[in-house]
A and B are shown apart, each in its own frame.
Chain A
């Protein structure tokens, strides 16, 4: 598995990176390489030049910005897992990332790479969506901010255009919210067949607010808004949650493949949503 030959540059600043990106037609960004390298090695793609973002310090790390957390695009999964800020204020993202692949891949793969790669079975998109993340995209003409809901366009397609870079992810703090990411796989190292990320704010025994994101239930991550609404004001009990989650698969368009057909995935989504919400609510 040898990729076709390519040029390689490793800029140390965002500006240089943007310049390098604009330097030709067939230029591709490489972050952790955990999705891109398999593609290159299987020769499914053969860009002329790779721009490695690995040496740009400003793209790395987790910080606070008022009511939000800011995660640099080049922050690795394992950096996120080590971050108390993420654990405290975006517990859902933390829990989801725990379920990504294995330690080797988590030491290389980045949050930004995962979001831009936009694999519908990836585990970062649904939590980002559920947490109302905003994505900061830089291009030759400056920066713009895209809401997660507008970011994912289709299979492997996002709002990041030619010559643009994702620089950071801003997530409103969900401090004190319970969270759970229920990932369904056949073998441990697999991509999600279906996964559900739920985060809830419980007031006494009542669910005050809920956010639910679905992984691999369509060509992009999806938000189960009907379930979110149905949960508000409900007691965090098995029965009430079951009822509210019954509609989890509504409006989804899951794939059919070796791991299950679309009907089975719809069924799973309902079961997993109930389990995720109940666990998130500490019930």
Chain B
């Protein structure tokens, strides 16, 4: 046995490693679902309703059936007895009105894009050609479209339900005993304080993941195998079984490499059901891959709310109460978690503030549009937007600085753990530290000075500064909490660590990455816990036959919950290895210490590496009495609280008052996501998240016309930003470890999106405030900004001087020179 001292290894956790999965993901030389080709595979094309609301009065598929290459055509009538109903797993009330949700419409369609028939053919082209030949007669019905009108039941989206109101959900801090009465606080503030009343629109957004959804189903084995571009293979397995009445043991679901989701693939879709039905009907493998247009039209959408908000405060800037009244657009059906999305934000409208009284009501409304569901942040961006916009409005009303009014109200770092008015316990945080760092990086005072100067000289380009000091609750887990809230499942996460004879390691995770870099981060975690090289760890996921236990990836849960499960499983491997190591070293278990992958007998130079112990377990030539010949271990983790990342985001924008154009000038985020496993991945999540949140503020909106047709049905009109539209962000972190886990990590997947939207809109409004403007509806398009300026009238900045041009140099990169210090990437080995 070698006795040389091993060099102390630098810990993997905290290293800015390049992601090991990137080469295959970026080049596309990998198993995207649409790349899968099976022998005898057939292709599907959907026939979709062009009408938002209509009765199907006739459907003639005979021409399609006899078209070249066509194997079969299935209609609602054909499958109505076998297709079951698509599930809603998170009802908002016990008496929620839930429209029946068929995968293929049978008698009626409730949104434009709903599937009415599917063509199965020998090639994708033949399927598409034949789909054009399916002749459907519709009798149009009036559609319920605009949210407020729908809430008033002017037109019914599903006449059989008798109302569009699906559910009403309420939280009252007085009733719950977590605070006082919001109404009383507001009444008191009306008498001798300040009341801010606002109505904000959370426009409808489209997740617009990069890889359109795709499903392949192979029915030719004992187990039916479904490959699907999903975030939730484990859910899909359960639902294929439950909805179609197939024993779960006969179903295997694989999420191969998946190109983004943002919540948009947290769904059990009609297309998944239809592909399985088609494969079973024909007895052959079938593939369906949606077009980009289909993806925008019929993949679920996000947000879409009206928020009526009343904030009460004292004259010296202390908030005393908040009342929130929401209307939330469900769209035509209740998807997997559609009905509870607004409520995921319900417990966060108080933000980071010590609010004494809080009242929340949400009315879920059905309309004849694509259904809404999870989209990055899911309920929490809306909540954060509301409170962070209100805090800026309060500051303006009182003539205080936006940061000062926040500081007056936030929870100080000594006050953790803090029980909020919404009944949630924030475990940790340090808002002062994050804000101080953000101020410094932003050069807050200098930008305020520049703002004053531009105002004084009536520069046509005005500067605005927006603040967002946010927190969010993520790491979607506590199973007990989810149960209390009527969720159909739990939120634990599972991991297995398998020690291979040659010393290599397989980490099996129940999370299901779709671009986040789990393979890299999980390898870093396992490498540290086991003391093995990063390169020796392989992470397996997304296949119910390989990773049978798991609850998948959404709600910024993978690292905070699933990562902790990996830690626990790896630690169990070490515990299991100890008796064998002791046996090999002829020492007592208590005399062993494990560091850097080596079991050493304390006070001696005797030791054995974990690889040696693994080999000994494999050969089993000399095991201690009663020991089984494997060191593999599993662990399931179910936290008893959420994780609460927080941060301070500061944004400066320039507003061209002549055109209404808004340009980013500087963006600083200082986030506390607890312990950072890989700074590069965190920076990546922040960058992407920020752009997605900024896009809600400035660019994106799903628009329907009066007939209920999606007008923004392609990327020509759904204006997704690219790198050319943003600036280099300045990202930094403070580290307050999450309490209660060995890992100490909080979620980061949604933070950027949640925080940035209000920061940007606050900045736009801040630029225009001297004109008497206190809101611009999202997205703050140039036209909307210009209209706000125009209708603000008189006070308007004098028209133009030439300085205007300086900051709008066409083609200038518009970048912050201090940006881009997120850590130097290290080359991942094996690349």
Contact = CB atoms under 8 A, between A and B. Distances in A.
Interface of A: 1-2, 4-5, 42-43, 98, 182-184, 186-191, 193, 238, 242, 258-261, 264, 267-268, 271-272, 275, 278-279
16 contacts: A1-B292, A1-B293, A5-B129, A43-B132, A186-B698, A186-B782, A187-B719, A187-B724, A238-B802, A258-B703, A258-B712, A260-B782, A264-B787, A267-B786, A271-B659, A275-B805
A261 B782 CA distance: 11
Interface string B652-667: 0000001101000000
A202 B500 CA distance: 78
A189 B125 contact: no
B658 A42 contact: no
A280 B659 CA distance: 20
B127 to A, nearest CB: 9
B43 to A, nearest CB: 10
B719 A2 contact: no
A99 to B, nearest CB: 8
B293 A189 contact: no
Nearest to B782: A186
A2 B124 contact: yes
Contact of A188 (B703, B722, B781): B722
B634 to A, nearest CB: 45
Nearest to B290: A1
A259 B292 contact: no
Interface string B795-820: 00000111001000011000000000
Contact of A2 (B128, B703, B717, B781): B128
Contacts of B787: 264
A188 B783 contact: no
Contacts of B722: 187-189
A188 to B, nearest CB: 4
A1 to B, nearest CB: 5
Given A188-B725, A259-B781, 6 more contacts: A5-B129, A183-B810, A188-B721, A190-B719, A238-B802, A264-B783
Interface in B703-728: 703, 711-712, 716-717, 719-722, 724-725
Contacts of B724: 187-189
A14 to B, nearest CB: 32
Interface residues of B, number: 35
Contacts of A1: 291-293
Nearest to B720: A187
B659 A2 contact: no
Interface in B660-717: 661, 698-699, 703, 711-712, 716-717
A259 B783 contact: yes
A110 to B, nearest CB: 20
A261 B716 CA distance: 17
Given A186-B699, A268-B659, A258 B725 contact: no
B695 to A, nearest CB: 9
A1 B125 CA distance: 9
A272 B128 CA distance: 45
Contacts of B291: 1
B800 A238 contact: yes
A2 B119 CA distance: 14
B703 A264 contact: no
A191 B725 contact: no
Contacts of B717: 258
A198 to B, nearest CB: 13
B658 A186 contact: no
Nearest to B787: A264
A1 B787 CA distance: 38
B783 A260 contact: yes
A4 B659 CA distance: 43
A182 B717 CA distance: 21
B797 to A, nearest CB: 14
A256 B698 CA distance: 20
Nearest to B43: A2
B203 to A, nearest CB: 12
Interface in B774-800: 781-783, 786-787, 800
A135 B11 CA distance: 69
A190 B698 CA distance: 14
A275 B132 CA distance: 49
Interface centre among A43, A187, A275 (most CB of B within 10 A): A187
Interface centre among A42, A238, A258 (most CB of B within 10 A): A258
Given A4-B129, A264-B786, A182 B810 contact: yes
A42 B711 CA distance: 15
Contacts of B786: 264, 267
A189 B124 CA distance: 30
A193 B699 CA distance: 14
Interface string B126-140: 001100100000000
A184 B698 CA distance: 15
Nearest to B715: A189
A66 B781 CA distance: 47
Given A42-B293, A187-B725, A261 B783 contact: yes
Contacts of B720: 187
B690 to A, nearest CB: 16
Nearest to A237: B802
A29 to B, nearest CB: 23
Contacts of A275: 805
B275 to A, nearest CB: 18
A238 B722 CA distance: 34
Contacts of A258: 703, 711-712, 717
Contacts of A189: 722, 724
A216 to B, nearest CB: 13
A268 B787 CA distance: 12
Nearest to B786: A264
Contacts of A98: 811
Nearest to A181: B810
B781 A186 contact: yes
Contacts of A43: 132
Nearest to A268: B659
Interface centre among A1, A186, A190, A261 (most CB of B within 10 A): A186
Nearest to A184: B659
Contacts of A268: 659
Contacts of B802: 238, 278
B213 to A, nearest CB: 14
Contacts of A242: 800
Given A259-B781, A259-B783, A264-B783, A191 B805 contact: no
A268 to B, nearest CB: 6
B597 to A, nearest CB: 48
A206 B802 CA distance: 19
A4 B811 CA distance: 39
A184 B663 CA distance: 13
B721 A187 contact: yes
B243 to A, nearest CB: 29
A187 B805 CA distance: 19
B129 A186 contact: no
Nearest first, the 4 A-B pairs at minimum CB distance are A188-B724, A260-B783, A1-B291, A2-B128
A259 B784 CA distance: 10
Given A42-B293, A182-B810, A271 B703 contact: no
Contacts of A42: 293
Nearest to A193: B782
A181 to B, nearest CB: 9
A79 B658 CA distance: 35
Contacts of A261: 783
Contacts of A259: 781, 783
A111 B659 CA distance: 30
A183 to B, nearest CB: 8
Contacts of A271: 658-659
A271 B719 CA distance: 23
A190 B725 CA distance: 11
B124 to A, nearest CB: 6
A183 B719 CA distance: 16
A190 B717 CA distance: 9
Nearest to B698: A186
Contacts of B661: 184
